[in-house]
Structure 1
Amino acid sequence: MTELVFFLEEPSAKAMLEGVVPRLLDDSINVRYVVFEGKQDLEKRLPRRLRGWQNPHARFLVMRDQDSGDCYEIKGKLAGICDRAGRPDALIRIACHELESFYLGDLNAVAATIGPQKLAKQQNNAKYRDPDRLNNAAQELKRIAKTYQKLSGSRAIGPVLSLDENQSQSFNQLIGGIKRLAGVQP
């Protein structure tokens, strides 16, 4: 059985992926989520977890937020960690700038789950057409969807995020990467 292992910076990423991944993959793929306590914890403990993974056929995806860092430097650092741990084929995905950029890329999903309903009409506003450019996606989401909470919001929004029409390019890269790792045709 194929095993796909996600190494994640925070619980909200797991909550979102638990709503997204089952819509992409069938039951023949065993999915595991390893959640760390922030990006420093992820970077510190990732090498040991990769080296100690027992299934030699497992495929790995490491995901973290860009926050205020340089996307290419972060990706390079994580790729180096994976390479030194003997897993150079691990896929690295960075949420530009934050996980909430994924949600701002699909305001229909936000409107349908946590509201308000009028949010869906704002998707064509310039800032939501390319939400990865927003440095403060979490603040922006909280501003327009007042009930948004990181963990419960991720749990609610994940299952209804569009897998095809999200305006966040980093989300689209994540979806494409999951499909490639799992051998699913895009």
Structure 2
Amino acid sequence: MVTMSMEKIIFLLEEPSMKVFLEEFLPRFLPDLEYLCITHEGKQDLEKSIPRKLKAFRRGVFVIVRDNDGADCYFVKKRLMDLCKGGGQSDVLIRIVCQELESWYLGVMDVLADVYNRPRLTGLNRKAKYRNPDRLGSPSSELVKLIPEFRKIEGTRQMGTAMPLRETENFSISFQFFIKGVHQVINNMEIRKKARHSAMRQE
């Protein structure tokens, strides 16, 4: 069990569906995690907001999550990091979703099969096309082809509730990196907490 410090993780998100997902998934994944999700109206709104938010929240540890949507991941991440530095912080976790949030759902076809009662989806991740869902050009379109009744917000809520807690069960590499990154943020918070307690004992 993770013992949280006074610091809070602040997720800066591109749009509301990621918040819906995280607010269903995170309490299951890390029950003691203190966090805040702040949504924006798309990529431009998120990027304009970053320096201002980083200056405003000095007690928070930031995680920025943005869809790739066909852009170059390297340049997207570099631009976001430059914005973080402009806000006076460089110790920010940046995670790019390749290409969209729906790629995380397509990474667990067996879960989709159970949630939407689609037995034919079971085992689909073993096929070449879906073995790495991050490579799909439009995961959202692909998902609707497979499950026509899928609706973004309600579907996101269901997948946040059903998503496996072990990142290795998801074929989406960007999901795996997201989970590993959040774990690293928490580890760093714990290290800082122990260092502060040690310094207080020595005073």
TM-score range, shorter chain: over 0.9
User: Which residues of structure 2 form unaligned runs of 5+?
Assistant: 1-5, 191-203
**Which stretch shifts more, 109-118 or 15-24?**
109-118
User: Which residues of structure 1 form unaligned runs of 5+?
Assistant: none
Aligned with 1:91 (options 90, 93, 104): 93
The one-character-per-residue Cα deviations of 1:130-174 (angstroms, maximum 9, x if unpaired) are 001101100000100111111111111012112321000000000
Give the paired residue count: 182
Once the 2 structures are TM-superposed, how far is the Cα of residue 54 of structure 1 from its aligned partner?
Answer: 4.1
Cα RMSD after superposing both structures: 1.6
The answer as to whether partners of 1:163 and 1:175 remain within 8 angstroms in 2 is: no
The one-character-per-residue Cα deviations of 1:99-157 (angstroms, maximum 9, x if unpaired) are 11101001122222234232123121111110011011000001001111111111110
Aligned runs of 1:1-150 on 2, under 5 Å?
Answer: 1-27=6-32, 29-55=33-59, 58-150=60-152
Q: RCO (CA 8 Å, sep 6+): is it higher in 1 or 2?
A: 1
Amino acid at match of 1:182: I
Amino acid at match of 1:166: N
The answer as to whether partners of 1:25 and 1:182 remain within 8 angstroms in 2 is: no
Amino acid at match of 1:15: V
Normalising by structure 1, report the TM-score.
0.92
Once the 2 structures are TM-superposed, how far is the Cα of residue 19 of structure 1 from its aligned partner?
Answer: 2.1
Partner-residue secondary structure (3-state), 1:175: helix
Once the 2 structures are TM-superposed, how far is the Cα of residue 93 of structure 1 from its aligned partner?
Answer: 0.2
Amino acid at match of 2:185: L
Which 4+ stretches in 1 moved above 6 angstroms?
none
Q: Matched residues in 2 for 1:110 and 1:32: separation?
A: 27
Q: Matched residues in 2 for 1:85 and 1:115: separation?
A: 46
